[in-house]
Copies of this chain bind each other. A is one copy, B any other.
């Protein structure tokens, strides 16, 4: 049956132009072309095969990742790929590796925090990979609270050097990717101490290993922190532990763009605004949100295709059974996730715009909108990563028993994805920051301060505290203005309630602490509003292609009405909608599912993922699931011999009842 498209029937049902949708998903024709070309390049290269990943022991897995990273670099050079193409290639190699941190954290840290001279010295080395760097911030005892880091960098004016030291066990650096086995250098965050005075946490470039023999330099203890979730997943990465025993580095290896230590040991601020960090933060989070849409769409693609292949129940004796994608429960679990994938894609796109905007404002020294941009990206990072992590597992469950097999691709996708909820800011800690910003914004309304950007709606607080949507029948929900207003009303009322309740406490801090669970919910409401709004804004643009906009509109409504149902308590108890209107929304949702159903497979085809990238037997483009599941199974090492290792020692004595005398 090779070469047969088992899903051809599904594809023929699509009511829109899939090729045009591919462009929309990719963001532009150019992006589509690059990602299409590079993903095929990776897929066709045997060095980049992934299907054996979960069977490799840690050391073999790791070595194979080193091989892939080197091969990727060679391809990038040999083919003279552009920066965009190189990035795309690394993305499709799809395996956590030290290069992620080198390109994603080490270089940007130097770019953002290094002086011009420092950049001139270090960046060329890093660009050519003559040095390999990582980002060493987190310690065994300190993660979320960066200000609590214990590693010290004490200035020695005698020698014009900093002494980097790990004074306690809990000050050991712990987690940095690429640190354990590979990095030659690190940006190390440590408390700066000059003349006995603690100036808080600053970044330092520290060489860790000799460039001759790769051995750790004197005073440095470094290693891998061990196995993590999954069998492949992040185990291809050498997250590391690092201790310093009074290691000396030259003074000019402190990253001095924002603050400096002079030859005499004087601590000084430069005239570069501290707000610079916002730029980097927005950049990193925009990447995380777009990664969320990739991971989510990948899981949804697998679950959708398999749900169209899988049949269960509903036949008369011996007849063909019902495709599980036709069950309304399956649709009500799957289609909102499909809609979320598109929603996150578009909000990620919007964040690219926001990044440009923030960068321009920084250059113009206009800092007014930065706190809002900061809160907004913190919230979107949290919202999209939490939702994606949950969704991957839901997609796995949607595949029934077979989803539990590594060959389904979903277990490893989950295992490799979930830390996104924790790194770059624990999601709850981030939402608390958003909530504080919202409460502050609400409190400042009375003084006439106009909220900006994604919080602008709070300026219409009086209206939104009163508004009631004009929804009398199910189809009334199919109006963008109604949707936005309801989401704005809910977010407003929750933020206002929080602000009011917090103010009842003896101190604001007590109020925040005591009501923090409510605050988190208000922050979520705000962030969901942003995603819904940006989806709707996207649809106000011209979108060419037969039926493309119609499909996106359906998905947009599904996303919004699904959230409305999921958080019904918020909407109804704040009086934003009535129970009757909620039930109409549900009716509408069911009808939207029916409209999406014939387009479902085409809507995931639009992601344009290769079978290599999906690495899922269940998600294969051709839908030829069973034969491939069957063939995959026999590759397991356990099947190398018919009688398993251990049978003679541990099973036979049992069967023959000779256990008593056996030595186990």
- A445 contacts the other chain (Cβ, under 8 Å)? no
> How far is the CB of A236 from the nearest CB of chain B, in Å?
11
Is the pair B633, A224 in contact by a Cβ cutoff of 8 Å?
Answer: yes
> How far is the CB of A367 from the nearest CB of chain B, in Å?
26
- A9 contacts the other chain (Cβ, under 8 Å)? no
> How far is the CB of A487 from the nearest CB of chain B, in Å?
15
Is the pair A568, B579 in contact by a Cβ cutoff of 8 Å?
Answer: no
Is the pair B128, A626 in contact by a Cβ cutoff of 8 Å?
Answer: no
Given the interface pairs A312-B144, A569-B568, the reply to whether A329 lies near B226 with Cβ below 8 Å is no
Is the pair B63, A646 in contact by a Cβ cutoff of 8 Å?
Answer: yes
Is the pair B655, A211 in contact by a Cβ cutoff of 8 Å?
Answer: yes
> How far is the CB of A512 from the nearest CB of chain B, in Å?
9
Looking at the complex, which one of B227, B241, B329, B655 makes contact with A630 (CB distance below 8 Å)? B241
A216, B641: Cα distance in complex, Å = 12
Residues 169-191 of chain A: 1 if any B CB is under 8 Å from the residue's CB, otherwise 0? 11010110000111010000000
Q: Which residues of B contact A96 (CB under 8 A)?
A: none
- A514 contacts the other chain (Cβ, under 8 Å)? yes
Residue of B nearest to A213 (CB): B643
A170, B626: Cα distance in complex, Å = 7
Given the interface pairs A145-B321, A328-B513, A664-B71, the reply to whether A627 lies near B227 with Cβ below 8 Å is no
Looking at the complex, which one of B77, B421, B517, B638 makes contact with A58 (CB distance below 8 Å)? B638
- A481 contacts the other chain (Cβ, under 8 Å)? no
Q: Which residues of B contact A238 (CB under 8 A)?
A: 638, 644
Q: Which residues of B contact A554 (CB under 8 A)?
A: none
Is the pair A419, B404 in contact by a Cβ cutoff of 8 Å?
Answer: yes
Is the pair B586, A313 in contact by a Cβ cutoff of 8 Å?
Answer: no
Q: Which residues of B contact A329 (CB under 8 A)?
A: 428, 432, 516-517, 520
Give the interface size class of chain A: 35 or more
Residues 229-247 of chain A: 1 if any B CB is under 8 Å from the residue's CB, otherwise 0? 1110011001001000000
- A5 contacts the other chain (Cβ, under 8 Å)? no
Is the pair B655, A586 in contact by a Cβ cutoff of 8 Å?
Answer: no
Residue of B nearest to A411 (CB): B229
A78, B659: Cα distance in complex, Å = 10
The 9 closest A-B pairs by CB, nearest first: A568-B569, A573-B579, A63-B646, A229-B411, A231-B231, A227-B406, A66-B650, A332-B517, A66-B646
Residue positions of A touching B, CB distance < 8 A: 47, 54-59, 62-63, 66-67, 69-71, 73-74, 77-78, 128-132, 138, 140-145, 148, 169-170, 172, 174-175, 180-182, 184, 198, 211, 213-216, 223-231, 234-235, 238, 241, 311-313, 315, 317-318, 321, 327-330, 332-333, 393, 396-397, 400-401, 403-407, 411, 415, 418-419, 421-423, 426-428, 432, 513-518, 520, 565, 567-575, 579, 582-583, 586, 590, 626-627, 629-630, 632-640, 642-647, 649-657, 659-660, 662, 664
Q: A216-B642, A403-B422 are in contact. List 7 more A-B contacts (CB 8 A).
A: A62-B645, A63-B650, A66-B651, A70-B662, A129-B657, A214-B643, A400-B422
